[in-house]
Amino acid sequence: MRGKPADEEPEAADDLLAALVAGDSSGKILAAYETALRDSWAGRELFRFRNFHAAVSHGLTPWAMAQVGLQLITGGRGLRDPLPAVAGHERMRHRAAVRPRRRPPFKPDGILTFDKLTNVYFSGTKHPEDQPNHLLVHASPDHCAVKCREEYGNPCQYFCPAAVYEMVADPKFGTDGQSLRINFSNCVHCKTCDILDPYQVIEWVTPAEGGPAYQNL
């Protein structure tokens, strides 16, 4: 983003600072924040790109590219404004409604493409192993082991780019049973799990310390 013009006051950050100083984050004290942000240079710049994510949400189709091109010309409006946006977790389909994939699983070549754990190493992420887990699952253990496995096939182990969520053998849930293991020290703070979990029971909270080396990502 561009730098803020020197003569532009007040800033939306002033409202946040006032809330921090007062120790009050209620709607009353932050009532002016949304308006201040919308009227700021940052708000105006973000408004120009309000429809871009929705335009390409189904891939780089010819329609999507035409819409993006028109948005660049029309200040973000395009053919339709606003474009309807559907949350990522609402697009998750039950296993019963999906045809099995016949193609072999992807295998990285170690030259141009790499496995998840190698990419975690390259990200430089570091979290002390003895700190509290900052990825909270607000559900019982059998939710992941039984309900999610049957309905969605535990998608967290696939959509997480850092192999944080792992299903491991657990005889407590039967001969081929599995339970969830959370490798929180791998986390690169992308919040994909918080966004894509079909049940919305995963919550990312600020860790006690650590994180990725963002310049490496």
CA dist., res. 54 & res. 68, Å (int): 10
What are the structural domain ranges in the chain?
A: 12-88, 95-216
Structure tokens at 199: 């049940």
Instruction: Tell me the average pLDDT across 99-119.
Output: 88
Q: Please say whether the dihedral angle defined by the alpha carbons of residues 47, 51, 56 and 58, taken in this order, is positive or negative.
A: positive
17 — pLDDT class (breaks 50, 70, 90): confident
CA dist., res. 119 & res. 190, Å (int): 14
SS3 (DSSP) at 165: strand
197, 154 in Cβ contact below 8 A? no
For residue range 137-191, what is the model confidence (pLDDT) as tens digits?
999 989 999 999 999 999 999 999 999 999 999 999 999 999 999 999 999 999 9
pLDDT at 4: 52
Instruction: Tell me the average pLDDT across 130-135.
Output: 96
With a cut of 50, say whether residue 206 has pLDDT above it. yes
Let me know if domain 95-216 sits in CATH 3.30.70.20.
yes
Instruction: Tell me the average pLDDT across 124-148.
Output: 95
**pTM of the model as a whole:** 0.75
pLDDT at 10: 57
Q: Please say whether the dihedral angle defined by the alpha carbons of residues 52, 196, 151 and 116, taken in this order, is positive or negative.
A: positive
Q: ∠38-44-45 over CA atoms, to 5°?
A: 130
List, as one string, the DSSP characters of 74-91: TTT-TTSSSPP---GGGG
- Contact residues for 78 (Cβ-Cβ < 8 A; gap 6+): 51, 55, 67, 68, 70, 71
